[in-house]
Structure 1
Amino acid sequence: MGRTMLWTGGITLAALGAVTFLAVEAKSSAPESFAQERPAATAPTTTPKPKPPAAPALPKDSGDGKRVVYSISADRVWLVAADETVTTDFPVVHGAVIPPPGTYKILHRVESATGGDGVPITYVQYFTKSVDSWIAFGAQEPGPSPADAGKRSGGGIRETVENGRRIWEFAPVGTPVVVTP
């Protein structure tokens, strides 16, 4: 074992010597432009993450006072306090039956039901009836995404359970619902 260690040590020292010699030779034969000092490395700059797109503004001519505003074209709901402050807004998915623009009121509420598409929904708030179906906000229980179920539902305007709870707590029976194009 002593001989093997001596042999390995000798080879290692020879290799280090060769590398050192080659480094010195390379430096002495490099063009002068390589020898100039390079600027100190700076910390890499981080690119700020892009901000998420701002939510659309509350539609103009959407009424006044405390109300729920639903924009058909934006697929969005705003909860507006009596002092005209938007307390929250969030995306929704409309069903096959879309209410015409106008002002309605929350007519009836049920904590849970089954949508016309067979999907369990909670925080259901009916605000008008079309020829074919009731039109209501309804929070979709976990399962298929609201976008999937909303395409099949009758007059269901679907939102997440969290957002359904927000409408439920904000808008008792009689609260105006303003539907904009």
Structure 2
Amino acid sequence: MAGLTAAALAVIGFFAYQASAAQDRAERPSAAQTAKPSPGDEGDDAKSHAPSKKETALPSRSGEGLRVVYALERRRVWLVGKDGKATRTFEVAPSPVSPQPGTYEVTSRSSHVKGSDGVPVENVVRFASVDGVTIGFSAALDGSTPDPDTSRRTGGIREKREDGEALWLHAPIGTRVVVVS
């Protein structure tokens, strides 16, 4: 009888674990779901500070066709499709070393590495180099998007993990990156 009780408890525990895991997946949408067109950020603070249309409008004279647009002063990135329309926009934490406005292209990518600041990062998309400092977008595994530490010369432009995954999927090597002021 004790064996049946133990087996029954094991089965109940297994089903409870599966239900818990299913709930976690339901609460965290996949990158494909979050990569749908959005007028602005969908982060935790979206309710307290919804970005205005002016803040999220694609910068004029930012090129044509498939590209990534990075606005330095607005601290914002747009993923733009072949049709020239933004499919996603999000805020980023700029790096202490920034590229000059201009047109670049994705030169390399890494799925998981240690950032130049020592923080483990994922979905690294590199596109420029400034005075020996490599510049690229990345998402910290711990989810942090710190203010730039000007005492260190690093080139990691930090984004939220879901934004990093969307950018990774949007920008293979050779994709244009347009930097505007």
Q: Scaled by the length of structure 1, what TM-score is found?
A: 0.68
List per-residue Cα deviations over 1:33-81 (Å, max 9, x = no partner). Answer: xxxxxxxxxxxxxxxx887232421111100000000000000000000
Q: Which amino acid aligns with 1:74?
A: R
Indicate the residue corresponding to 2:176 in structure 1. 176
Q: Which amino acid aligns with 2:85?
A: T
| Secondary structure, counterpart of 2:146 in structure 1 | helix
Indicate the residue corresponding to 2:27 in structure 1. none
Indicate the residue corresponding to 1:126 in structure 2. 126
Structure index of larger Rg: 1
- Paired residues of 2:56 and 2:89 also in contact (CA < 8 A): no
Indicate the residue corresponding to 2:80 in structure 1. 80
Deviation at residue 153 of structure 1 after TM alignment: 6.3
Indicate the residue corresponding to 2:145 in structure 1. 146
The gaps in structure 2 that reach 5 residues or longer are 1-46
Superposition pairs for residues 20-31 of structure 1, below 5 Å?
none
Q: Which amino acid aligns with 1:72?
A: L
Structure 1, 63-72 or 129-138: larger mean CA deviation: 129-138
- Measure, in 2, the Cα distance between the counterparts of 1:159 and 1:71: 14
Q: Which amino acid aligns with 1:53?
A: P
Superposition pairs for residues 20-169 of structure 1, below 5 Å?
52-54=50-52, 55-142=55-142, 145-148=144-147, 150-151=148-149, 154-169=154-169
- Measure, in 2, the Cα distance between the counterparts of 1:67 and 1:158: 18
Change (3 A) 1:139 1:59: same
Q: Which amino acid aligns with 2:180?
A: T
Q: Which amino acid aligns with 1:176?
A: R
CA RMSD of aligned residues (A): 1.8
- Measure, in 2, the Cα distance between the counterparts of 1:84 and 1:115: 31
- Measure, in 1, the Cα distance between the counterparts of 2:92 and 2:132: 21
The gaps in structure 1 that reach 5 residues or longer are 1-48
Q: Which amino acid aligns with 1:141?
A: L
Deviation at residue 122 of structure 1 after TM alignment: 0.4
| Secondary structure, counterpart of 1:146 in structure 2 | coil
| Secondary structure, counterpart of 2:64 in structure 1 | coil
Q: Scaled by the length of structure 2, what TM-score is found?
A: 0.68
- Measure, in 1, the Cα distance between the counterparts of 2:141 and 2:57: 28
- Measure, in 2, the Cα distance between the counterparts of 1:127 and 1:78: 15
Aligned-residue identity in percent: 44
- Measure, in 1, the Cα distance between the counterparts of 2:58 and 2:122: 26
Structure 1, 103-112 or 51-60: larger mean CA deviation: 51-60
The count of corresponding residues between Structure 1 and Structure 2 is 131
Q: Which amino acid aligns with 2:172?
A: P
